[in-house]
């Protein structure tokens, strides 16, 4: 007999992640998946991780197998300081770093610490689905801010803030994936980075920069994180988060937040309550791995492979989709192409036909939290091989263009 449990109010409307549901289909061997943002498995540095694991067990087994500090293992935090320096943020104080169990936990913790039911969160339109899922679980009201190829439109953001003010409301925070957005692939321009910070500081609204993809740039000049432009006035309003998932391995489940001083305490308490600390074993292994310098050697290949896959997908789309049937912006990095089909096309309704044809994508409607737009789709080029990309785009065209 099915039982009805007295779930919390917050769980009553919770939906499973559409992407994770789709990924269940994607494991079928006959399906070519453009759905998940999974790193290319051929890029995992298995030898490097094996050596770092052996070293850790040989020389630091107690540290790795014992409980550890909530904020993270010092040796791993030191390595994060190095990663951040390379990204243009030098001398980050260790006390401002909170190691998380993937950046997904960072999203959850900031929501837990900041949000009461009904609070407003401003997100990109389209927005990262699993962040939307978290904010909705904390019963936030989501408002989308229009995006284009240069990322979040800061004029539209100001308009949203003004509109809220007119209703006597204000947003608790702005959440952005400013570099190689998920799903948009868009990157916030330099001018908008500065503008976004200026707005956050002026309006005293926290800006959450989620940056999982910036290492994966395969064309154009690199743009430092939004957080790197924050001066004394802006810094208290910026939370930065990143992860090893997309350029080392998601299985490690290691991410980090860089917090303004006043948020370190609350976030650490929330983290303690959630899981005491992230895996000490994985932090020690990751620290050892990063120490060896193997990553710097591996990164050029990682970028090159994703660049080739992105190009292969764009070429195949040009070849298989007649002009006017599918538009997309060419990304300079990351894992995604964001496609727009003609008005009136419903990509959600077409998923089953795509699955029947042996290919899967994520319908765009799922990425719009506050309105319905049916004619978009997200295609990831990261996981399939070049041959699968060509074959999969052919299948996609046959399925959705009939
Ligand atoms: C924008 C964004 N944020 C966070 C995550 C979660 O990554 P992690 O594996 O670090 O939890 C992802 C993963 O796809 C992502 O695309």
Q: Which residues of 134-171 are buried (b: 16+ CB within 10 A; e: fewer)?
A: bbbbbbbbbbbbebeeebbbbebbeebbeebeeeeeeb
pLDDT of residue 66: 98
pLDDT tens digits in sequence order for the chain, 402 residues long: 678 888 888 888 787 776 667 667 777 889 999 998 899 999 999 999 999 999 999 999 999 999 999 999 999 999 999 999 999 999 999 999 999 999 999 999 999 999 999 999 999 999 999 999 999 999 999 999 999 999 999 999 999 999 999 999 999 999 999 999 999 999 999 999 999 999 999 999 999 999 999 999 999 999 999 999 999 999 999 999 999 999 999 999 999 999 999 999 999 999 999 999 999 999 999 999 999 999 999 999 999 999 999 999 999 999 999 999 999 989 999 999 999 999 999 999 999 899 999 999 999 998 998 888 899 999 999 999 999 999 999 999 999 997
The answer to whether the peptide bond before residue 126 is cis (omega within 30 degrees of 0) is yes
DSSP 3-state of 90: coil
Q: Is the distance from CB of 225 to CB of 250 less than 8 angstroms? A: no
Q: Beta 206-210 vs 171-176: how paired, if at all? A: parallel
Asked if residue 275 lies in contact with residue 253, where contact means CB atoms within 8 angstroms, the answer is: no
**In whole angstroms, what is the distance from residue 16 CA to residue 14 CA?**
7
The binding-site residues of ligand 1, defined as CB within 6 angstroms of any ligand atom, are 37, 102-104, 128, 177, 182, 210, 212, 243, 245, 250, 255
From residue 367, alpha-carbon distances to 336, 348, 370 in Å are 13, 12, 9
CA gap 18, 129 in Å, rounded: 8
Angle at 353 between CA 352 and CA 354, to 5 degrees: 90
Atom 2 (ligand 1) nearest CA? 212
Q: 241 CA to middle of ligand 1, Å? A: 10
For residue 390, what pLDDT is reported? 97
Count of beta carbons in the 10 Å neighbourhood of residue 297: 11
Separation CA 134–CA 369 (nearest Å): 12
Which pLDDT belongs to residue 77? 98
Sign of the Cα torsion 116, 122, 128, 129 reads positive
How many whole angstroms separate alpha carbon 105 and alpha carbon 111?
Answer: 10
Cα 86 to middle of ligand 1, angstroms = 20
CA–CA distance, 133 with 22 (Å, rounded to integer): 16
- In the three-class reduction of DSSP (H, G, I as helix; E, B as strand; rest coil), residue 378 is classed as strand
Residue 38 CA to ligand 1 centre (angstroms)? 10
pLDDT for position 15: 75
Tell me the best of 39, 99, 102 to mutate to test the pocket of ligand 1, counting ligand atoms within 8 Å of each CB and taking the most. Answer: 102
What does the pLDDT read at residue 4?
84
Pocket test for ligand 1, best of 40, 208, 212, 241 (most atoms within 8 A of CB): 212
């Amino acid at each position: 007999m099915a039982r009805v449990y007295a779930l919390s109010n917050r769980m009553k409307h919770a939906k499973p992640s559409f992407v994770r549901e789709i990924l269940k289909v994607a494991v079928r061997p006959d399906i070519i998946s453009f759905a998940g943002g999974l790193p290319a498995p051929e890029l995992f540095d298995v030898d490097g991780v094996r050596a770092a694991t052996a070293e850790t067990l040989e020389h630091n087994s107690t540290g790795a197998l014992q409980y550890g500090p909530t904020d993270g293992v010092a040796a791993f935090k030191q390595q994060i300081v190095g990663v951040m320096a390379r990204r243009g943020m030098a001398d980050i104080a260790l006390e401002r770093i909170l190691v998380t169990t993937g950046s997904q936990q960072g999203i959850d913790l900031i929501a837990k610490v900041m949000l009461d039911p009904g609070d407003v969160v401003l997100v990109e339109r389209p927005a990262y689905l699993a962040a939307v899922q978290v904010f909705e679980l904390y019963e936030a009201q989501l408002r989308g801010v229009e995006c284009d190829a240069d990322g979040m439109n800061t004029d539209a953001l100001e308009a949203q803030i003004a509109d809220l003010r007119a209703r006597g409301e204000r947003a608790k925070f702005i959440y952005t994936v400013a570099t190689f957005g998920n799903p948009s692939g868009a990157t916030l321009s330099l001018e908008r980075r500065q503008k976004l910070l200026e707005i956050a500081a002026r309006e005293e609204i926290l800006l959450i920069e989620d940056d999982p993809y910036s290492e994966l740039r395969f064309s154009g000049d690199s743009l430092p994180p939004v957080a790197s432009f924050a001066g004394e006035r802006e810094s208290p309003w910026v939370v930065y988060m990143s992860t090893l998932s997309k350029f080392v391995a998601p299985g490690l489940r290691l991410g980090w937040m860089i917090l303004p001083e006043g948020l370190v305490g609350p976030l650490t308490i929330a983290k303690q309550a959630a899981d005491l600390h992230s895996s000490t074993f994985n932090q020690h292994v990751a620290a050892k791995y990063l120490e060896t310098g193997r990553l710097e050697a591996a990164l050029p290949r990682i970028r090159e492979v994703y660049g080739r896959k992105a190009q292969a997908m764009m070429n195949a789309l040009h070849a298989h989709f007649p002009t006017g049937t599918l538009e997309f912006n060419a990304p300079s990095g990351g894992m995604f192409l964001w496609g727009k089909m003609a008005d009136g096309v419903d990509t959600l309704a077409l998923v089953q036909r795509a699955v029947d044809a042996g290919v899967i994508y994520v319908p765009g409607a799922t990425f719009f939290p506050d309105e319905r737009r049916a004619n978009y789709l997200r295609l990831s080029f990261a996981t399939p091989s070049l041959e699968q990309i060509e074959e999969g785009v052919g299948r996609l065209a046959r399925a959705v263009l009939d």
